Structure 1
Amino acid sequence: MRISGFASGMDIDQMVNDLMKAESMPLQRMEQEKQTLEWKRDDYRAMNTLLLDFRSKLTDMRMTTSYRSRETSSTNENLVSATASSAASQSSFELSEVKQLAKSASWVNEAKVSSDVNDPINASETLLSQQDKLAGFSFTTGAIYEESITASADDEPINLDHAVNLGGEDALSVQVDGKNYKVVTDSADLTEDTVLLNGSGLEFASGVIQEGSEVSVQYAISGETNEETKTLADGARNLQLDGRSLEGFELQLNGNTYTMSADPNEDGLYDLVNSADPNDKIGLMSKDLGRIAFDEGVIDGETELTATYSQNYTSFGVGSETSEGAKYQDFIIRGNESLNQVVSKVNSADLGVSMMYDSYSDRVSLRRTETGDYGTGNDMSLSGSFMTDALNFAANPDPVTNTNYSEGQNATFTINGLETERHTNNFQIDGVTFNLKQKFDVADGPVSIGVTNDSDAVFENIKEFVETYNTLIGEINGKVNEEYYRDYSPLTDDQRESLTETQQEDWEEMAKSGLLRRDSILQSALSTMRTDFYSPVNNGDSQGSFNQLAQIGITTTRNYMDGGKLEIDEAKLREAIESDPSGVENLFRGDGEEFGEKGIARRLTDSVNNTMDRIYERAGRATATNQQFTIGRNLEDVEDQIQQFQDRLTQIEDRYWRQFTAMEKAMQQANQQASYMMQQFGGMGMQ
């Protein structure tokens, strides 16, 4: 228990605080030492950030693109233009004629989609609702199944749950690991890109099915029904079936059979009515979406129900010849899907085919997305009555007799006297990308393409590199030569209280100054980088060309106060770039593997990496723990000393309080005794 001046009348709290201030002087010095170490660590890391930025520029300077920036010229940009990569050599090309441009295959259907031009289809409405407007076409009803099979062994036979008859109105779509396979029924047609159907069995070419392969199959069997059994929780109001565009729907629930009403309501929904009791209605159904909304109270307790139905569907296939080989996909379309959705499905498939419906002309077109001629057969192919009967495409297009079908063609041209072809109008030869814009013959040509070095771009790259280096040198020189103020230590808490914010900032600026003055790591880095710049580059790449920066107009400034910054004689550098660009390149980025010497950029990279590693060892990274670098370990030691000293101060403060408490108790006892004696002496006087 601490007694504060009750007996003595002294301000014990203040006295103890004053005594503890004196005792705490070593602690303040430790905290100042800790702050100084943290500032020094941050200064080192700031230097490493600058070095990292410079190293990024060095990475650019070690790449050919910094020295081989090419520019091209064309004698007729309206006919042929070109661009060149850094890999292109300085050369010229002559195109004497372009016989034909590359184009993509295109296909327009034979007639309008709508049977009545005065009552065209609505491409956003369901196809089933528009069926009467599609002349000569009707949907098939049947069961649609989806199966996903994981192969347990290589070349494992794949068997479906149901047999499929493609000779009738059945449909089948097969994918293996996302790749589509065209279904064939003749073993002679089995290839790496097809799958042979035999009843319920699927046979692939050897090697297609691997252990773990995912086989995804969607198929439709005409005349059959789907059956679903569901268990609903108590009070459930909604049920989503797997099927869509339903026909012949029946629902078995609580021993009763429910069917859809003959006509829909104004929202297009059908009543679910007990087939034995027309007054027993249990909810509404969307046959397009296969969704049921039960009336409240219909599902009382956990309930099992069974739904049977057929689905309206049709199918078609689209194929194309592409730069990646032949592609084909079968599509199964339900009656609740719209023509717009069909178009979207084709465009989303990886077929290299773009499909479009134009409501104004009421026509459908297909276009291969790539130009060129890639196969011996038709560039595009179609199958299925939906394409031929509903959308009015020709079953077997003939590019000669069918004017609605146009095959893709290659670009044919003569370059440097050689007649050749390309699949596209944009192609590359020896690092130069040509863009053929128009056809022209010998009388209109030739068109000359020249490839030269872009001296301005190379000059700007080197200039930017020198400026980055000068910025780095300036910052490092500023740190190693920064004035150190011994009289300015980090502020203590008491000192801060006596200063304004501006005074605190000024003080801290002085206290932080010079922490890296004459630092050995930074001074070594400056010395090494200067040597890297000035030492001759005598390696196999630079022999017989430039081997010093001064030869290309880069020298040290005359002002020694700049600390080794560089300056550029722009005229001399441009002359060197134009006269011998390879020599300039090799001076910077020569690898020196044969002669043991590296170009300037490679030397500097090694020096910067070495300096950064030394700084990391001393000051660490932002993600490093204190035990991983020198200053961090010093900080740990100081923090341990601070903690120990704080424990000691606590003990000293407790001792002071014990002493003052004992004094107060003693004075209290003395006061009590004095009071007692006064009372006794006072009583004797009265007698």
Structure 2
Amino acid sequence: MSNMRITGIASGMDTETMVNDLMKAERVRLDKIEQEKQLSLWRQEQYNDINKSISQFILDTRKDLFGTSSYSKSPSSLTWVNKATSSDESIFTASSTASAPTGTHTMKVTQIAKGVSVASASAVSATNDSKLSDLGIADGSISFDIDGTNTATIQYKATDTVKDLIDKINSAMGDELVPDLNTPKVPLGIQASFDDANGRLFLSTKGTGLKAQIKVTDDAGKLFTGGTDKFKLGLTEDVAVNGQNAKIDFDGAIGLEYESNNISINGINITLNSTSATDQTIKIDTDVDGIYDKIKGFVDKYNELIGNLNKEISEKRYRDFNPLTKEEKEAMNDDDIKLWEDKAKSGLLRNDQYINKLIQNVRSGLYESVITDDKGTSDTSDDIELSPYSQLFEIGITTGEWKDKGKLVIDETKFKDAIKADASGVMDLLFTPSDEDNSSKSGLVNRMYDHMIDGMKEIINKSGTGDNSELYRSVKSNILIDFVTGGNGRKGAISLIDEEVLAFDTRITREQDRLSSVEARYWSQFSAMEKALSEMQSQSSWLTQQMG
């Protein structure tokens, strides 16, 4: 059949306009499907934005509270609960974890940890760009003992420059004497440099302490060892030059040794700067104001998140504002399109079951007691309330008025009084690690995180991950396992909304095929009409001529 379209030549009608008008009526059903698809895509985008904001809240607050965004630490490791004061910061500085006993501690620094540094005894007639051959060095190798088990061997050529040799030393890795494929190679741990201005080679260990050493075990080319070594370091083959440990006396414990000047003892982190002739002191106090500020900051971020979630589920829905069709957009300017679409997107998650459930679970978790099996008393044999604090209100944190919809309020005086009475109890209530088998044993903050992550998982099943997979894995490494494996009527790695969109695409394709058929039928009918009219006009003209 010919696809030629015969316009209204015979009838005088604007056939094309008539067909287009008829097709506009036919397109209503397709427009509705495309609008429903667009609503699903917008809803998916909003779900993903919510999960992104929850993820960011968890990561940001974990980093602020625990010093790392990857995981939550135990209450005893928190570094902002206690404050440490050094009697002389030129000798040492100190910070404290929550486990450090409060009070005044005595300490004397008798020796600082040091590494090893050696240098050319006199100037070497070379620069970094000099060839090793200029120093009378032929092809060869030099070996260093790293730790008694690993040896690093460096191959060099006469055509190498001094800088090439330096780079090889700095990047050298050890090979175990008895290779173990499961053990990573150990770095040499020596930093080398050559100073052109003074003609001196410098070697130094990256670490400190007795185990830090420079020990050349094989130097046939006499680069660094022997009385006539090329770089005048004066080292002796197979003789180690070692660093020294730090030594301190602490609260009556004499001669404690450490390989580094950054040490930890009894929950106190100390950086040694110099030795002391007399005893010094470290004063550990509970940082009441610091704790309040830290928790207040957390509560403020929580309230901001809850406020945004409540806004999403209470936002007004404007049902008269549907997604614009292509023709409607063409008739509007960009500003008007944005205003319209803002209305069309509003309220898509109003009273949403997933967000409502997440909020309710978080709030319920905050109201419930924290229990343990080794403190306090209770009528139950297994679960015993944490003493003296087991609920949030006991430390001065409560929910606000009804209009605040779950936001938290801190009574500063009551909270600080609780800290003064038992800082450890407050920290246990808030930060006891999660218990996967019994959430009632989880601290309230970690319980909150767990409920949020559970809610995120349900939203991921509904809307997918968008571009946020790595962000979600930063929150919890296995958070996407259920999504990838599928279940609950959902195929693996495809969200419920993605399934909806695929179904809409199928319906759209079918509807487009139907519209093509309908349009072809209209044109066929009009073409037939035009042809018939044309034939009638021809016959009429012939008769008129015959009757002439």
CA gap of 1:461–1:26, structure 2 versus 1, over 3 A, is same
Q: How does 1:13-92 map to 2 (within 5 A)?
A: 13-56=16-59, 62-64=72-74, 67-69=78-80, 70-85=82-97, 88-90=100-102, 92=104
Query: Does the Cα contact within 8 Å between 1:82 and 1:449 map onto a contact in 2?
Result: yes
Counterpart residue number, 2:411 = 569
Counterpart code for 2:210: D
The alignment status of 1:548 with 2:391, answered yes or no, reads: yes
Distance in 2 of aligned mates of 1:49 and 1:428: 37
Figure out how many residues of one structure are paired with residues of the other and give that number.
Answer: 483
Distance in 1 of aligned mates of 2:218 and 2:343: 82
Counterpart residue number, 1:415 = 250
CA gap of 1:544–1:477, structure 2 versus 1, over 3 A, is same
Distance in 1 of aligned mates of 2:169 and 2:54: 53
Alpha-carbon distance, 1:547 to partner = 2.2
Counterpart residue number, 1:450 = 283
Query: Does the Cα contact within 8 Å between 2:26 and 2:515 map onto a contact in 1?
Result: yes
SS at the partner of 1:546?
coil
The alignment status of 1:468 with 2:301, answered yes or no, reads: yes
The alignment status of 1:672 with 2:538, answered yes or no, reads: yes
The alignment status of 1:430 with 2:440, answered yes or no, reads: no
SS at the partner of 1:17?
helix
SS at the partner of 1:631?
helix
SS at the partner of 2:398?
strand
TM-score, scaled relative to structure 2: 0.75
Distance in 2 of aligned mates of 1:359 and 1:49: 53
Residues 205-228 of structure 1: per-residue CA shift (max 9 Å, x gap): xxxxxxxxxxxxxxxxxxxxxxxx
Residues 415-454 of structure 1: per-residue CA shift (max 9 Å, x gap): 222321334433332343333333333xxx2101233444
Distance in 2 of aligned mates of 1:506 and 1:395: 79
Higher normalized contact order (CA 8 Å, seq sep 6+, divided by chain length):
1
Distance in 2 of aligned mates of 1:533 and 1:565: 11
Query: Does the Cα contact within 8 Å between 1:105 and 1:380 map onto a contact in 2?
Result: no
The alignment status of 1:599 with 2:432, answered yes or no, reads: no
Distance in 1 of aligned mates of 2:531 and 2:253: 116
Counterpart residue number, 1:533 = 366
Considering fraction of residues, name the structure with more strand.
Answer: 1
SS at the partner of 1:580?
helix
**Paired-residue identity, %:** 30
Residues 449-500 of structure 1: per-residue CA shift (max 9 Å, x gap): 2334444443333223222221222122212222122222222333334433
Distance in 2 of aligned mates of 1:505 and 1:123: 63
Considering fraction of residues, name the structure with more helix.
Answer: 2
Query: Does the Cα contact within 8 Å between 1:104 and 1:368 map onto a contact in 2?
Result: yes
Unaligned runs of 5+ in 2: 66-71, 173-186, 376-384, 468-482, 485-489
Alpha-carbon distance, 1:127 to partner = 4.5
Counterpart residue number, 2:350 = 517
TM-score, scaled relative to structure 1: 0.61
Larger CA deviation: 496-505 vs 2-11: 496-505
Distance in 2 of aligned mates of 1:642 and 1:492: 14
Distance in 1 of aligned mates of 2:48 and 2:115: 58
Counterpart code for 1:30: I
Q: How does 1:141-540 map to 2 (within 5 A)?
A: 312-313=138-139, 317=142, 319=144, 324-325=147-148, 334-339=157-162, 341-349=164-172, 350-354=187-191, 366-374=203-211, 384=220, 385-386=222-223, 387=225, 388-391=227-230, 408-420=243-255, 421-441=257-277, 445-540=278-373
Query: Does the Cα contact within 8 Å between 1:67 and 1:458 map onto a contact in 2?
Result: no
CA gap of 1:23–1:582, structure 2 versus 1, over 3 A, is same
Residues 174-204 of structure 1: per-residue CA shift (max 9 Å, x gap): xxxxxxxxxxxxxxxxxxxxxxxxxxxxxxx
CA gap of 1:15–1:459, structure 2 versus 1, over 3 A, is same
Distance in 2 of aligned mates of 1:407 and 1:493: 78
Distance in 1 of aligned mates of 2:363 and 2:416: 23
Which residue of the other structure, out of 127, 130, 134, is the alignment partner of 1:125?
130
Counterpart code for 2:319: R
CA gap of 1:448–1:381, structure 2 versus 1, over 3 A, is farther
Larger CA deviation: 455-464 vs 30-39: 455-464
Distance in 1 of aligned mates of 2:110 and 2:466: 63
Query: Does the Cα contact within 8 Å between 2:113 and 2:244 map onto a contact in 1?
Result: yes
Alpha-carbon distance, 1:333 to partner = 5.2
Greater gyration radius: 1
SS at the partner of 2:282?
strand
Alpha-carbon distance, 1:113 to partner = 6.0
Residues 116-135 of structure 1: per-residue CA shift (max 9 Å, x gap): xxxx566643354455xxxx
Counterpart residue number, 2:473 = none
The alignment status of 1:101 with 2:112, answered yes or no, reads: yes
Query: Does the Cα contact within 8 Å between 2:127 and 2:195 map onto a contact in 1?
Result: no
CA gap of 1:381–1:428, structure 2 versus 1, over 3 A, is farther
Unaligned runs of 5+ in 1: 115-119, 132-138, 140-311, 400-404, 683-687
Query: Does the Cα contact within 8 Å between 1:74 and 1:81 map onto a contact in 2?
Result: yes
Counterpart residue number, 1:239 = none
* C-alpha RMSD over aligned residues: 3.8
Alpha-carbon distance, 1:506 to partner = 2.0
Counterpart residue number, 1:681 = 547
Distance in 1 of aligned mates of 2:233 and 2:281: 45
Query: Does the Cα contact within 8 Å between 1:373 and 1:379 map onto a contact in 2?
Result: no
Counterpart code for 1:64: S
Residues 558-580 of structure 1: per-residue CA shift (max 9 Å, x gap): 3x332222222233323323432
Alpha-carbon distance, 1:675 to partner = 0.9
Residues 603-625 of structure 1: per-residue CA shift (max 9 Å, x gap): 32343233223323333332789
Query: Does the Cα contact within 8 Å between 2:48 and 2:465 map onto a contact in 1?
Result: yes
SS at the partner of 2:228?
helix
